[in-house]
Amino acid sequence: MNYEILHRLNSILFTSSRIVFFTGAGVSTESGIPDFRSASGIYNEKLGYEVSPEEMVSHSYYVRYPKEFFDFYKKKLIYPEAEPNACHKAIARLEEMGKCSAVVTQNIDGLHQKAGSKNVYELHGSVQRNYCERCHTFYDADYVLKADGIPMCAKSGCGGRVKPDVVLYEESLNEDVVEGAVQAIREADTLVIGGTSLVVYPAAGLIRYFHGKNLVLINKSETSQDRRADLVIHENIGEVMAEVMKQMTDETTK
């Protein structure tokens, strides 16, 4: 790992007061959650289904084939044993220190909140939230996982289907979440983009609202925004953030 680059990142974070982290699947792969598009991701698995994973998590497939949808969803999109990794914990610590103002994430696993982050904009929703389509009663991920087949509302006299609060293909992003994310990015002095190749739109397009001082990109592979960034690090984001936080802690305790 290039310690000169790490020192530059440390300096940027140390001197910033309104950092926004924009995170993608690469942040959660270190917690054992596979992404969709890498060589080992869900899209490239031989799943034994006759349709693509992308089609299986579409709104139309959910409506037409709910049993098959939930079979895939429970097996491939909910990871109850996953725990926050060094990156999640570092971001939460920076918020605690008053430096990180928000997290904007494409992930649906809820690990940022589990690590302690409070101000999180989940662009694609969360597997941790599920609602009855008829009476809007809330259910957690465990209820969906334990349901026999299609999860149904347990409220007396309802019997509605319980839908995950995730943005399926063919569905629009939540306007309030997008507006909050845009506002946070606009007000940021530093934007750190981590663990995403920035190919998923419209979420990836939100970074155009950043006009702050420092744009940092941390991703194993190149992205379309590398040339625009003030600092680019092609390393494992968990290792990078763990080392930077160690340096920052050492400096503050001197």
pLDDT in tens, 114-171: 999 999 999 999 999 999 999 999 999 999 999 999 999 999 999 999 999 999 999 9
Reply yes or no on whether the pLDDT at 192 is more than 70: yes
Q: Is 70 exposed, middle or buried (CB count within 10 Å of its CB: 0-12, 13-18, 19+)?
A: buried
Task: Judge if 90 and 181 occupy the same domain.
Answer: yes
pTM: 0.91
Contact yes or no for 125/167 (Cβ under 8 A)? yes
Pairing status of strand 138-139 against strand 125-132: antiparallel
What pLDDT shows up at residue 169?
Answer: 94
On whether both 62 and 173 belong to a single domain, the answer is no
What is the separation of C-alpha 246 from the centre of its chain, rounded to a whole number of angstroms?
24
Q: 136 and 59 in one domain?
A: no
d(CA 12, CA 6): 10
Note down the domain range covering 17.
Answer: 3-33+83-124+167-252
Give pLDDT tens digits for 83-119: 999 999 999 999 999 999 999 999 999 999 999 999 9
124 is catalytic: yes
> Among 115, 150, 166, where does a domain finish?
166
| pLDDT score of 247 more than 70 | yes
- What are the Cα distances from residue 212, in Å, to 50, 180, 187, 216, 241? 46, 17, 8, 11, 21
Task: Examine the domain organization and report whether 94 and 10 are in the same domain.
Answer: yes
Which residue among 124, 136, 211, 234 is the active-site one?
124
Do residues 50 and 142 share a domain?
no
